[in-house]
Amino acid sequence: MAIDKNARYLESHEYAKPEGELMVIGISDHAQAELGDVVFVELPNVGKELDKGVVFGTIESVKAASDLYMPISGKVVEVNEEVKNDPSLVNKDCYGSGWLIKVAPTKLSEFESLLDAESYGTSIGEV
């Protein structure tokens, strides 16, 4: 499974990845593989302020519907409209075109407390 080294992770498989002043949020390659074919993604509106750990959306595959948790507190500045129309992007390119939302982080220090690529790899049983 691919683990993007520039991103940091929650144990629930969401990642946050710095992009300039913003943080790109999505789900890991491991998560998309476990979910299987993603068929629906529900995301928050631009402008919404969300704290770390709260549910920011849901992702649905043919197997299950799962909540999406904020890896970092912030204000939503952009939502991936393409992924709403074509949820398979999450399966094809979860760290690239399959990103979910971009936020302006309000507590940047939280990023350091997330799992780095190596610790995340250990947590999902990949060394």
Return d(Cα 103, Cα 21) in angstroms, integer. 9
Half-sphere exposure of 61 (CA within 13 A, CB side): 16
Q: In what order do the strands lie in the sheet with 65-69?
A: 38-42, 55-61, 65-69
Q: Could you say whether residue 64 binds other proteins (CB under 8 A)?
A: yes
User: Which lies closer to other proteins via its Cβ, residue 22 or residue 48?
Assistant: 48
Q: Which residue stretch of 17-25, 35-43, 76-84, 111-119 sits at the interface with other proteins (rule: CB under 8 A)?
A: 35-43
80 interacts with other proteins by CB under 8 A: no
Which segment (22-30, 62-70, 75-83, 103-111) binds other proteins by CB under 8 A? 62-70
Among 87, 98, 105, 121, binds other proteins (CB under 8 A): 87
